[in-house]
Amino acid sequence: CLISSLSLFGKGDESYKFACEFYIGQWIRDVQIEIEQYIVSPMASIPGASSKLCFKNEDDKKIPNPNKLQELEEKKEFYHSLIKNYNKISTLQKTWNILPYDSCSIIASHLASYRTFSQNFEVYLQQICKMLSEQAIALRTKAVKALTMIVSVDSTILMRKDIQDNVHGRLLDPSTNVREAAIDLIGQFVLKSIDLVSQYYDMIIARILDTGVSVRKRVIKILKDICIEHPDFKYVPEICAKIIRRVDDEVGIKKLVTEVFRLMWFQPVSDINKSSAILFTKAVNITKVASLCKDTGFEWLEILLENLLDPKNASLRASTMTACQQLVDCLFQRLLNPEQKSDTNMIVSCLMTLNLFCKVCPLLLIPHATSLQPYLSSKVNSPSDLVVIQNVSKILELVVPLMDHPNPKFLAELEEDSMKLMLQQTQNVVQSCTSCLAAIVNKVTHNYKFVIDAFNQFL
């Protein structure tokens, strides 16, 4: 049945024919060995003869059964007939049962498992692993590529502790070629399982600072694939923060980082209602990355946004502007959601992110400027509230002068709130509110009398 099925599946394919002939040849060899053992087994009773014979078990030493011997000879003749009539097997397919392809694969794997090569797999694997420590760079590189070919057949091998240790060792290899081959090995198969991603994450993320440019590029591509294939992976924000810091790397990596984030975050959504969940996930990830960067500075994020909005490419700039506007709108929806009002950390993260967008392109926030004013009149009860006021005042400083015919009542309340904060709050708040008030008075209201009267009270 197996031979018939393989010949059916492999019509016109020489590899299937070779497989059939190989199996038939192996079966003939096995039958011949059994026949020889049955023929020579009587010699076991001759003194001195048994020491020169090898038997699989004690049953082989028994006197042969003539019927069994005849059965083996018939089986041998049958196998020979299969080879002679291979091209006619298709005519017998109607009388033989045809096995499904999956069943053929299972049977072939089972048969292969009994062969010497399969039984010695562990020996060969350990020999390849030993080659990973050879002094010659070319040999180490070839050993890593050989291991890659093995893993391509069974990626679960990467779960083994000894393989993990060997791969880690090659990631620290003095040769850039070996390190690149090792990171390529991980990158090709790590995405097949979230367990593999978790197991090799620390190794991968450490190589983003590799001295080899080709290694850094490959690492960034792998990290991008992790973010896209496993968006719920707990380290996605950290991954994005690490990649962003490469935005001031050499030109090739700078372009790669820009394209990575253009693909992940700044692709406009055609139908916001249907893709609201995707847009929300992007917005949340951006705010988390902004929170991670607050201690080290936002320069990388600003550079990334500037690169994305590069005016040299008009078509890309237009689509990126659309994506940015969608993200800004989504962030404001989070801010205005009544269920989120009590989440101070969320508010701070959203406003920090909006401030970043505002620094690069204030026009994005013009439709939402009036909804930010109430934050300036809210009570200050914690350091987080002060951060909120600082970010809101910085945003309004840039946005209000760009507004067409803003509501006079909105401007008056903005002036009043800014002046109160200047007189009551700490130095950082005073600085940001002073800049905000100066921009509004000098560029929009020209209400210098309000400022003079306020300061005269303290003279």
> Is the pTM above the cut of 0.75?
no
Amino acid (one-letter) located at 229: E
Which has the closest alpha carbon to 124: 159, 149, 105? Answer: 149
Region 196-201: what's the mean pLDDT? 91
What own/partner pairs with CB < 8 Å and gap ≥ 24 does 168-174 have? 168/203, 169/132, 169/133, 170/132, 170/140, 170/144, 171/203, 171/206, 171/207, 173/140
Q: Is 250 helix (H, G, I), strand (E, B) or coil?
A: coil
Size of the chain, expressed as the number of residues it contains: 459
The per-residue pLDDT for range 242-297, each reduced to its tens digit, is 999 898 888 899 989 989 999 888 888 887 777 788 888 888 888 988 888 877 77
The per-residue pLDDT for range 203-218, each reduced to its tens digit, is 999 999 999 999 999 9
Q: What is the C-alpha to C-alpha distance for residues 409 and 36, in angstroms, rounded to an integer?
A: 107
Q: What is the C-alpha to C-alpha distance for residues 284 and 120, in angstroms, rounded to an integer?
A: 51
**Cα end-to-end span (Å), the chain:** 105
DSSP 8-state assignment for residue 62 = S
Q: Is 96 helix (H, G, I), strand (E, B) or coil?
A: coil
Question: Is the confidence at residue 398, as pLDDT, over 70?
Answer: yes
Q: What pLDDT, on the 0 to 100 scale, is given for residue 5?
A: 56
CB 356 within 8 A of CB 302: yes
**Count of H-run helices and E-run strands, the chain:** 22, 0
